[in-house]
Chains A and B, each alone.
Chain A
Amino acid sequence: MNSRILFSVSQVFVCLPLWGVPANRDHFVAVDLEKSKGTVEFFAVARPSFLRIHGTIKEGNAYPLKGHLRIRGLKLEGRATFVLDSLQTGMESRSRKMHEEYLETHKWPLAEFALETLLLPSQFWGEEQLRAKVPFSGLLSFHGVQKKISGETTVEKNASELNMDFRFEVALHEFQIENPRFLGMEVKDSIEIRVHLGVPLEVVR
């Protein structure tokens, strides 16, 4: 199965002041993900009953997403790491099996993503409100395997904030995770991952 990476990043509110160069038409913005709140989710389906598994970040956990994003002109780049143990599936025994047997978080506790290419729409800085889908690509390191991935980001800008939704699909076998099973259920190989980020607009100038 081909991997399509759609990186959806849930709303992130960055408190860290960002440095910009408003006098220059080549805008520059840096976002520290560690000081933001974001959401990472995954969606899986298990046979034979097509059970839907919605993985989310455990409540009460320290914020698991670290790294930075930089906007230089229209180019977005950056790196992010995510603590895999922060994910839960809604059932404790299922989550534990996911961490211990399949993700093997004791060996590879983090997923890492290096965003290499994402070009914002040309009218991004000129318009107050904007919504567009743009492609992106990067390197995902996960379960000891590094793979190039690509996908689509939904960029939404309004008067107060900038939101970015990244979505991608992962084929588990490509990351050496074979046929996850739990009590007679077998998880399908393709998992959709969504990450959503939101940035207050006053820092994106």
Chain B
Amino acid sequence: MKWFGNICLAGIALVVFLSTRAALGYVELTRHGFPNCIACHVSPDGGGVLTPYGRQLSEEILSFASRKEESKFLYAFTPPDWLQLGGDIQALQLYQKTDRFREARFIHMQSDVEAALSSKPWVLDLSLGSQSKGSQNFSGGIIFSRRHYVGYRPQDELSFRVGRFMPAYGINLPDHTVVTRRDLKWDEGGEAYNLEGAWLGKNMDFFMTVVFGRLDAPKLKRERGVALRGSRFFGDGFKVGASYFFGDSDVGSRHFFGPWGILGFSKHFSVMVEIDAGREIPRTGESHWGLVHLVQIDYEPFRGIHVFALEEFSKLDLTDYKNTLQSFGLGVTFFPRPHWEISAAWKKRRWLVLSSQSYDLGWLQVHFYL
């Protein structure tokens, strides 16, 4: 009867449908000896549907508590070897308090299902979910596929794929609101149509992504360009790399580049750092240089419980005094059992465009992964 109850629980969770971003991988797991995301995810850049190994890891390393086989898809199903199934449901309660307004808002972030079919060396990945009309990347139609691609892996080290997914740049963090994602336009709905080639070696990896924009939604006028990302893995848990992106759209072009690092000092403690500098060249007006960075310190005192502190800075136009955003924050992420993630954070933010005063920003997020 227990399995029946689990199926019902999963079924209830599945009923919920709404917008936004794809859940991404947990890059902090690098400190457990995973140089490549492909150990746990079908996608070579991480995120999305889990491999069987990734599911087992969620049970034994990620979650506070678990019982045997609890990480199965919808608690109960083991698909055949050629099929991996997944999906994500996320919701968030947001709170903001500035000197001008106070806001509390419930956001239903995501409801997607995803499947990956593989027959070596080919992989077909397809997600299906919903998008909100309020999304800046709304392409028309509530039901849509944020990620779909065909992959080809002729050998372990080589990966090619074509389709719609997020270009490989910087640290592929789940939190799309941090400045190194949002301000560089790797926000929710940022998946574009790309052609990607990657080398995934024992100690090094390299991605090259040719970005074709949103071929399905030309009205969005998304940029086209190329992204490059390389990294090296050291010891048992250190990964450092650098990225470069060039994009061009109707409104202008931009270059961004910078180093990043995922530093797993121990099984419990890790630091993530990313710094990006770049130049935006509008079609009209003057070009300007910008800078963003993020530092996040994560400590896992007990398995499944993470406390983190972060600092972020964004100044996309170094000549504009008001174009400055800085945050300091604290948070906790709890993985109580396989399939569940609960995260809460509070940030003290100063965004000069809004006000010279700092304001409070907090949220509570619940994520259920199928």
Q: List the A residue with the shortest CB-CB distance to B44.
A: A49
Among B34, B36, B51, B202, the residue within 8 A (CB) of A183 is: B51
Judged by DSSP, the binding face of B is mixed
Q: From the candidates B51, B53, B61, B201, name the one contacting A50 in the complex (CB within 8 A).
A: B201
Q: Evaluate contact between A49 and B56: CB separation under 8 angstroms.
A: no
Is there an interface contact between B236 and A50, defined as CB atoms closer than 8 Å? no
* CA A54 to CA B35, docked complex, whole Å: 13
The stretch that binds B, out of A12-20, A86-94, A120-128, A197-205, is A86-94
B56–A51 contact, CB under 8 A? no
Give residues of chain B (45-63) contacting chain A, Cβ–Cβ below 8 Å: 51-53, 56-57, 60-61
Q: For the complex, is A76 an interface residue (Cβ under 8 Å from B)?
A: no
B residues less than 8 Å from A182 (CB atoms): 53
If the complex has contacts A51-B34, A183-B51, A184-B51, are A91 and B200 also in contact, measured as CB distance less than 8 A? Answer: no
Please give the distance in Å from A123's CB to the nearest CB on chain B.
33
Given contacts A45-B202, A184-B53, contact A51 B39 (CB under 8 A): yes
**Chain A positions 188 through 203: 1 when the CB is less than 8 Å from some CB of chain B, otherwise 0:** 0000000000000000
Q: Is B38 an interface residue (CB 8 A)?
A: yes
Given contacts A49-B38, A183-B51, contact A91 B56 (CB under 8 A): yes
In the complex, the answer to whether B33 meets A51 with C-beta atoms within 8 Å is yes
Q: Assuming A53-B33, A184-B53, is B61 touching A91 (CB within 8 A)?
A: yes
Contacts A91-B56, A93-B60, A182-B53; is A52 near B236 (CB within 8 Å)? Answer: yes
Q: Is the CB of B236 within 8 A of A90?
A: no
Find A49's partner among B35, B52, B203 (CB 8 Å cutoff): B35
Residues of B within 8 Å of A75, CB to CB, are none
A-B contact count (CB 8 A): 54
**Nearest A residue (CB) for B59:** A93
Cα distance A48–B202 in the bound complex, in angstroms: 9
Asked if residues B56 and A90 are in contact (CB atoms below 8 Å), the reply is: no
* From A52, A54, A183, contact of B56 by CB (8 A): A183
B residues 197-242 touching A (CB-CB < 8 Å): 200-203, 236
Distance between Cα atoms of A93 and B68 in the complex (Å): 9
A185 within 8 Å of B (CB atoms): yes
CB pair A184 B38 closer than 8 Å? no
Is B283 among interface residues, defined by CB-CB distance under 8 A?
no
Q: Is the interface of A mostly helix, strand, loop or mixed?
A: mixed
Min CB gap B191→A, angstroms: 23
How far apart are A118's CB and chain B's nearest CB, in angstroms?
Answer: 28
> Is B32 in contact with chain A by the CB < 8 A criterion?
yes
Given the known A-B contacts A90-B61, A91-B61, A92-B60, are A183 and B53 also in contact in the complex, defined by CB atoms under 8 Å?
Answer: yes
A49 (CB) vs chain B CBs: closest residue:
B39
Question: Among residues 1 to 59 in chain B, which have CB atoms less than 8 Å away from a CB atom of chain A?
Answer: 32-39, 51-53, 56-57
User: How far apart are the CA atoms of A94 and B61 in the complex, in Å?
Assistant: 12
Known: A91-B56, A183-B52, A184-B53. A48 touches B33 (CB 8 A): no
Distance from B32 Cβ to chain A, minimum over Cβ atoms (Å):
7
Residues on A with C-beta less than 8 A from B202 are 45, 50
Contact A48 B156 (CB under 8 A): yes
Given A47-B156, A183-B52, A183-B53: A91 and B39 within 8 A (CB)? no
A-side contacts of B201, CB under 8 Å: 50
B51 / chain A contacts, CB cutoff of 8 Å:
183-184
Residue among A48, A53, A91, A184 with most chain B CB within 10 A: A48
Task: Enumerate B172-212 residues with CB–CB distance to A below 8 Å.
Answer: 200-203
**Is the beta-carbon distance between A48 and B35 smaller than 8 angstroms?**
no
Closest A residue to B57 by CB, please name it: A91
Nearest A residue to B84, CB-CB: A184
Interface residues of A in 11-62 (CB under 8 A from B): 45, 47-54
Which residue of A47, A94, A182, A184 has the most chain B CB atoms within 10 A of its CB atom? Answer: A184
Given A48-B156, A90-B61, A184 and B52 touching (CB < 8 A)? yes
Q: Which residues of A contact B38 (CB under 8 A)?
A: 48-49
Pair A185/B53 contact, Cβ less than 8 Å: yes
- Nearest CB to that of B159 among chain A residues? A48
> A50 to B35, Cβ gap below 8 A?
yes
Q: Which of A48, A90, A93, A185 contacts B32 (CB 8 A)?
A: A90
Residues on A lying within 8 angstroms of B by beta carbon are: 45, 47-54, 90-94, 182-185
Task: Kindly list the 8 A-B residue pairs having the minimum CB-CB distance in the complex, ordered from nearest.
Answer: A52-B33, A49-B39, A48-B156, A50-B202, A183-B53, A183-B52, A49-B36, A49-B38
A-B contact pairs, 11 of them (CB 8 A): A48-B156, A49-B36, A49-B156, A50-B35, A51-B33, A51-B53, A54-B236, A90-B32, A93-B56, A184-B52, A184-B53
- Apart from A49-B156, A51-B35, 12 more pairs, CB < 8 Å: A49-B34, A50-B35, A50-B201, A52-B33, A52-B236, A53-B33, A90-B61, A91-B57, A92-B60, A183-B53, A183-B56, A185-B53
